[in-house]
Amino acid sequence: MTTKTKALAGVGSRGTALAVLFATSIFACKPSGTPARPLVGPTNENAPVQVRAGAVTTRTRAAALALTGTLVGDRQSQLTPLVAGRVEAVLVERGDVVRAGQPLLRIRDVDFRSNAEGASASLAQARARLGEASAGRDPNALPEVQAARANAELAQDVLRRTEQLSANGSVSDQELQRARSSSAAAAAQYAAAQNNARGAIAALRSAQVAVSQTSRAVSDSVVRAPFDGEIAERTINVGEYVTPQRAVVTLVRTDPLRMELQVPQERLGMMRRGQRVVLRVDAFADREFTGEIRYISAAVRAETRALIAEAVIPNTDGSLRPGLFATARIELDRQETVFEIPTDAILSEAGVHRVFVIGADRRIQERVVTIAERMGANTLIERGLNTGERVAMGRLDRLADGSLVTE
């Protein structure tokens, strides 16, 4: 061995010794009791997924048409005042139950009352001028008209006699002319009295209208409930100025409620008035509400190709509220068979419902199903399953078509 070779061998031995020493120092520094984790570990992607199994059973029930919609009040009105003015008092709050005719809001009525008093005084004056007996109906019934008529008739009679005497030469032409002038003046006075009477009657009627209007303004200064219901919104406060164009209170009648349903045109033959409707809302998942189809539109909407039907749902206990989204099942005059499975066996994503059927070889068959009705712990499926099959429950997010499972 040459000197150069020996030197290299010495360097290699020292390098190996240093490496061994470095590794030994690392393991010596590791705390005792800490298990060593391998840098690379094997994984088994084909390991079975532990699940629970649920049975698919069948049930026969009345065939139904499932639709969705929003509940609305049987009546809903945004109330506006009939007169403009400053709000003096707000008598209700949101959620109050009110009866028809109950005061809800009061507007300052001092000016309205003053106007009503002035109109009443004008009416009394007009009646005094015309006389209570005539009641302002017949101008010829007024005393001044009757007096003017008597004078006109008397002057006419005097003129006729004067004309007869003038024909015999018994009176002068001057007397005849005076009789004619007196008759014409009396007739003019009679006509003027009639015109004055008609004017007085018109003034009386105008005063009556003014009294009616001002009295109504006093009454209209109080906003009243037009029907029984509940206060949904109150958008006004004391001191604000309101006009007949501004809504101040929203009143809704909550018993019964209505639900507007859009029925596809291919289902029109299934609809009729009086059909029973079963309703479910998320707020009461384990409770059913029943009603009936009361109104059906006479025409299909061209933009949606759907017919609008309205269901009426009693709400005597006030559980349901306008605005709730609901699922309605309209019962039809025939029977249908549906599949019942545990609700935990359904995986719902983006409106798509999937069920994982366990095959005989313990392999998963993924199915897309149509839900007929949710009933709490169990759910009814319209199609997509078969009687006697078993469905996986639990850890559904780890399952896919072909996955291997164990129970």
Walk along the chain (407 residues) and give the pLDDT tens digit of each residue: 444 444 434 434 444 443 433 344 433 334 443 343 343 333 345 688 989 999 999 988 877 788 888 899 999 999 999 999 999 999 999 989 999 999 999 999 888 788 778 888 888 877 777 765 454 467 777 778 888 888 888 988 888 888 888 888 788 888 888 888 988 998 898 888 888 888 778 777 888 888 888 888 888 889 999 999 999 999 999 999 999 999 999 999 999 999 988 888 877 777 888 889 988 888 887 888 999 999 988 888 888 888 888 999 999 988 899 989 998 888 787 788 889 999 999 998 887 899 999 998 999 999 999 887 777 789 989 888 988 899 999 889 889 889 999 98
CATH of span 52-62+338-406: 2.40.420.20
| pTM of structure | 0.55
C-alpha 288: how far from chain center = 22
Write down the domain spans for the chain: 52-62+338-406, 65-74+254-333, 81-108+221-247, 109-219
Alpha carbon distance 54, 344 (integer Å)? 9
Tokens representing residue 34 in the block: 């800490």
| Nearest residue to 249 (alpha-carbon basis) of 370, 107, 380 | 107
**Residue 56 amino acid letter:** V
Residue pair 249/233 in contact by the 8 Å Cβ criterion: yes
Beta strand 325-342 with 346-349 is unpaired
Residue pair 17/300 in contact by the 8 Å Cβ criterion: no
User: Going edge to edge, which strands form the sheet with 103-107?
Assistant: 222-224, 103-107, 85-90, 241-242
Q: Collect all residues with Cβ–Cβ distance below 8 Å to 292 and sequence separation of at least 6.
A: 273, 274, 275, 276, 277, 311, 312
CATH 2.40.50.100 fits 81-108+221-247, yes or no: yes
Q: 142: helix, coil or strand?
A: coil
Alpha carbon distance 69, 327 (integer Å)? 7
Alpha carbon distance 230, 404 (integer Å)? 58
Q: Which CATH class is domain 65-74+254-333?
A: mainly beta
- Bin 130: left if φ > 0, else alpha if -120 < ψ < 50, else beta: alpha
**Residue 282 amino acid letter:** D
Alpha carbon distance 211, 214 (integer Å)? 5
Backbone φ and ψ for 39, nearest 5 degrees, come out as -65, -35
For residue 324, the tally of other CB atoms under 10 A from its CB is 18
Which helix (H) or strand (E) segment holds residue 241: the answer is strand 241-242
Q: So what's the pLDDT on residue 43?
A: 38
Tokens representing residue 181 in the block: 């002038």
| Nearest residue to 204 (alpha-carbon basis) of 144, 257, 139 | 139
Domain 65-74+254-333 shares a fold with domain 81-108+221-247:
no
For residue 140, the tally of other CB atoms under 10 A from its CB is 13
CA distances from 89 to 79, 155, 231 (A): 16, 67, 16
Q: So what's the pLDDT on residue 62?
A: 77
